[in-house]
Amino acid sequence: MAITIKNLMEDIVSQKLDKMIDKLGVCTCEICKTDILCYTLNRLHPKYVATNNGELLSKIDSLSNTFDIAIITEITNAAIIVKNHPRHN
Ligand SMILES: [Zn+2]
C-alpha cells in the first residue's frame, strides 16, 4: 500500500476554481488558471495529510465546506490580480 503526503488544499482549490471560473470574468486558459491557483494556495494555509488514495475523497468533501468562505475570498482576489496582470497578451 502506498502512503503519500498530500496538500488537500490543492485539490479543494482546484475543484472550487473550476466551479467558479466562469463567473469570475477572467481568461480561462491554462496559464491564467494556474496563476490563480498558485496565488490562492500561497495565501491559504496548506492542509497536509498522510493518506492512501481511498481516504482522500471524503476528507476533501468535508474540508471543502469548512474552508469555503476563505477559499472563495482568496480565489476572487487572485482572479482580480490575474485579470489586471495577465502573463500573456
Ligand atoms: Zn489566459
CA–centroid distance, residue 52 to ligand 1 (Å)? 34
SS3 for 26? coil
How confident is the model over 33-54, as a mean pLDDT? 90
CA–centroid distance, residue 13 to ligand 1 (Å)? 18
In a domain, 45, yes or no: yes
- Under the banding of pLDDT at 50, 70 and 90, the label for residue 39 is very high
Q: Kindly give the residue spans of alpha helices, DSSP state H, lying in the chain.
A: 8-24, 30-43, 53-66, 68-84
pTM of the predicted protein model: 0.84
Per-residue pLDDT tens for 44-63? 999 988 887 666 666 777 77
In a domain, 53, yes or no: yes
Whose cell is 475523497? That residue is 57
Question: What is the structure's pLDDT at 1?
Answer: 66
Q: Which domain holds residue 56?
A: 4-84
> How many structural domains does the chain have?
1
Cβ(74)–Cβ(44) below 8 Å: yes
Cβ(81)–Cβ(23) below 8 Å: no
Per-residue pLDDT tens for 7-26? 989 999 999 999 999 999 99
In a domain, 89, yes or no: no
